[in-house]
Amino acid sequence: MSLVVGISNQVVVHDVKNINDYMNITDASLTVEIKDSLGDLVAGEFWPVDLTYSVIDYQGAYRANLSPSLDVVAGESYTIEVNGLDSEGNQLINICSTTAQEPGCNSCS
């Protein structure tokens, strides 16, 4: 996921699967938080943000739109933490890092 300064960034989590049968999980309870390099929650959003499962163009995923006033700075590093539970109570965690980009960046990762 990339973070772009000054726009409503969308968090999208694909392929949430059951660890036993590898079937897609469509009823998990997932949330996201974004932290700065000091481990503090980024200002401009009410954390944690719930992700909702939806299907768009035949692609099922958990999605959330973040506030365009999210206080991120281009070139700074951030940690994105997705946490939750599946319907059986199994903990789901995904943590990744990204660097915020200016709008219009073509090399966002």
Residue 5 lies in a domain: no
Cβ 53 vs Cβ 62: under 8 Å = yes
pLDDT tens for the chain, residues 1 to 109 = 788 999 999 999 988 887 788 888 899 999 999 999 999 999 999 999 999 999 887 778 999 999 999 999 999 999 999 999 887 888 888 889 999 999 876 555 4
Residue 49: beta bridge partners? 32
Residues sharing a CB contact under 8 Å with residue 83, sequence separation 6 or more, in sequence order:
30, 31, 32, 33, 48, 91, 92, 93
Residue 3 lies in a domain: no
Residue 35 lies in a domain: yes
Residue 85 lies in a domain: yes
Strands 59-65 and 49-56: antiparallel
Q: Which domain holds residue 89?
A: 10-99
CATH of the domain at 34: 2.60.40.3340
Residue 55 lies in a domain: yes
Q: Provide the number of structural domains found in the chain.
A: 1
Note the pTM of the prediction, 2 decimals.
Answer: 0.85
